[in-house]
Structure 1
Amino acid sequence: MSARGLWITLEGGDGSGKTTQAALLEKWLRAQGREVLRTREPGGSEVGVLIRDIVLHHRGDIAPRAEALLYAADRAHHVATVVRPALERGAVVVQDRYLDSSVAYQGAGRVLDADQVRELSLWAAEGALPDLTVLLDLDPADARRRLDSADKPFDRLEAEREEFHQRVREAYLGLAAAEPGRFLVVDAAQDPERIAEAVRARIAAML
């Protein structure tokens, strides 16, 4: 990736506060005079919106390998047409989910081979990795209470049982332990502003 831009991804289980933190981070970065691109996976491009509807809202089962391939297809198009151009012009990309989500959700959650899922994603994205990945770590039971209080229908992944989400959490923590230089792990049970301060402190040094 171009040294002129900065690529930050936010990861964590459903209900961990990624959207809130992405908005706070965007506001702070813009105040620093930086161009910011907010995006997400799946759904960060026109093609991605179609794939997002399939993987999150399709009525009926999707074979786990098919699901992993759909996410990889979204990722290939998104990185090529959205992320790389933004980084090349010097923007800061703030992204909700990337390949670590696939490793955690399709690898651990769906019990596929996590290494194969990661390799598939890396192939799709031509090896692209973020400069920083913020992992918002939250107990699945606390996350479920947040989702319940939001009073909106669950998507296919949110509706999975607690055992699924516990496997996802453990996978995320394993990924962070394996790549401490790329990850910043934050306790997502904290006040949102305290979380944002921790994120800003890490990114300020990178800017």
Structure 2
Amino acid sequence: MSHRGAFIVIEGLDRSGKTTQTETIQKRIQEAGKEVVCIKFPDRSTSIGKMIDSYLRSQSNLDDHVVHLLFSANRWELASTILAHLKQGKVVLCDRYAFSGIAFSVAKNLPPINLAWARAPDASLPSPDLTLFLDISPEAAQSRGGYGEERYEKEGMQRRSQERISDGKGGGKGTWIIVDAGRDMSAVTEEMWVHIRPLLDGLDTPVGRLWD
């Protein structure tokens, strides 16, 4: 097995600081002299991503099953790209991944969107080597700017998603770490960095696959 880059995912509820932390960690990795590629899901620049963007902004309505499959398809659009970057020895840093998609869909409490159904479309996607879940209460998230601008940013939905998100974790051989995101941003960054730094020199193991 040739040396490859690490696949790192930053997960969390809306307004948990995912995007800010992803940008901060990206700079840290670059300063450490490593190549890093950042991907944000959903990727709203693709054809499928534009449909998702319209839905999230409440500009269109779609069946919940269709929405879930679109989110999964959006991840599959970039699966080969992720694998290519890892093969080149680059760190792939992802702002959200399959775990959020599963949690939000199951949190809708709409049969037959149960955990097994929600996980199925993402089976065999590349599995992260490390997932950092930024845990924050819906109340604390509401106090942050921009909360409530998109369809899923409602307290009830966020609370149910918080309860469900760990249901979709794992599925590969990667590590899942819960980080208290209600603290000072710099303290959160430092805790994340402790787990990320050891992976920057790459891995000699094959890329895992979700749910395998």
Does the 8 A contact of 2:129 with 2:173 survive in 1? no
Aligned counterparts, 1:111-122, within 5 A = 111=110, 112-122=113-123
Distance 2:109 2:8 in 1: 26
Task: Find 2:198's aligned residue among 190, 197, 205.
Answer: 205
Taking structure 1 as reference, are residues 188 and 84 closer, same or farther at Cα in structure 2, changes over 3 Å only?
same
Distance 2:40 2:170 in 1: 24
Distance 2:192 2:39 in 1: 18
What is residue 207 of structure 2 aligned with on the other side? none
Name the Cα RMSD after superposition. Answer: 2.4
Shift in Å at residue 107 of structure 1? 1.7
Shift in Å at residue 174 of structure 1? 4.2
SS at 1:14's partner residue? coil
Does the 8 A contact of 1:13 with 1:165 survive in 2? yes
SS at 2:188's partner residue? helix
Does the 8 A contact of 2:54 with 2:60 survive in 1? no
SS at 2:198's partner residue? helix
Distance 1:179 1:88 in 2: 18
- Compare the two structures and name the one with the higher helix fraction: 1
SS at 2:194's partner residue? helix
Distance 2:61 2:53 in 1: 14
Aligned counterparts, 1:68-147, within 5 A = 68-80=68-80, 82-111=81-110, 112-122=113-123, 126-146=124-144
Shift in Å at residue 55 of structure 1? 3.4
Does the 8 A contact of 1:55 with 1:70 survive in 2? no
Shift in Å at residue 66 of structure 1? 0.8
Aligned counterparts, 1:128-167, within 5 A = 128-146=126-144, 149-150=145-146, 154-158=149-153, 160=154, 162-167=155-160
Distance 1:200 1:37 in 2: 17
When the two structures are superposed, what TM-score results if normalisation uses the length of structure 2?
0.83
What is residue 196 of structure 1 aligned with on the other side? 189
Q: What is the one-letter code of the residue matched to 2:9?
A: T
Distance 1:72 1:3 in 2: 28
Distance 2:158 2:143 in 1: 13
Taking structure 1 as reference, are residues 193 and 60 closer, same or farther at Cα in structure 2, changes over 3 Å only?
same
Post-superposition Cα deviations, 1:94-148, rounded to whole Å, max 9, x if no partner, equal 11111001111112235421221112112xxx342111111000101111121xx
Distance 1:206 1:9 in 2: 13
Q: What is the one-letter code of the residue matched to 1:138?
A: I
SS at 1:103's partner residue? helix
What is residue 30 of structure 1 aligned with on the other side? 30
Does the 8 A contact of 1:176 with 1:185 survive in 2? no
Distance 1:137 1:118 in 2: 21
Identity %: 30
Does the 8 A contact of 1:109 with 1:164 survive in 2? yes
When the two structures are superposed, what TM-score results if normalisation uses the length of structure 1?
0.85
Shift in Å at residue 54 of structure 1? 3.1
Distance 1:121 1:3 in 2: 25
What is residue 187 of structure 1 aligned with on the other side? 180
Taking structure 1 as reference, are residues 66 and 175 closer, same or farther at Cα in structure 2, changes over 3 Å only?
closer
Does the 8 A contact of 1:10 with 1:135 survive in 2? yes
Taking structure 1 as reference, are residues 3 and 143 closer, same or farther at Cα in structure 2, changes over 3 Å only?
farther
